[in-house]
Amino acid sequence: MSLLPLLASLVMAGAGCAAVAAIAVTIRAQLPSVRKVLADSRAVAMDRAFLIQITAVGAPAAQRSAAAPRRLPARGFRAAAIAAVKPVGALATPRRAAA
């Protein structure tokens, strides 16, 4: 009986144990990140449910009075008032051309 098959079996078993240990260490190191991702996923699901609730039910919001007249600033009013004043010659009635 040779020891070579026994040695190969021990090497394979040792490699398998080392792989399992590496997986366990990796999972343990990444556990806080996995918990954070799961918490974010729950938060996103709650946000989605809230957004569906506020957009699916309820009356539409009241329209703001965007078309309401606005006050002109003092400078703008004066400039508009000066531009609205017609020259004296423009107020006179136009003369008819001689026939």
**Residue 2, pLDDT score:** 84
Q: Give 80's contacts (C-beta < 8 A, 6+ positions apart).
A: 72
Whether the per-residue pLDDT at 64 is higher than 90: the answer is: no
Domain borders along the chain are: 7-58
User: How far is 48 from 87, CA to CA, in rounded Å?
Assistant: 65
72-97 pLDDT tens trace: 555 555 565 666 665 555 555 556 66
pLDDT tens per residue, range 22-62: 999 999 999 999 999 999 999 999 999 888 888 876 666 66
Taking the chain, what is the end-to-end CA distance rounded to the nearest angstrom? 141
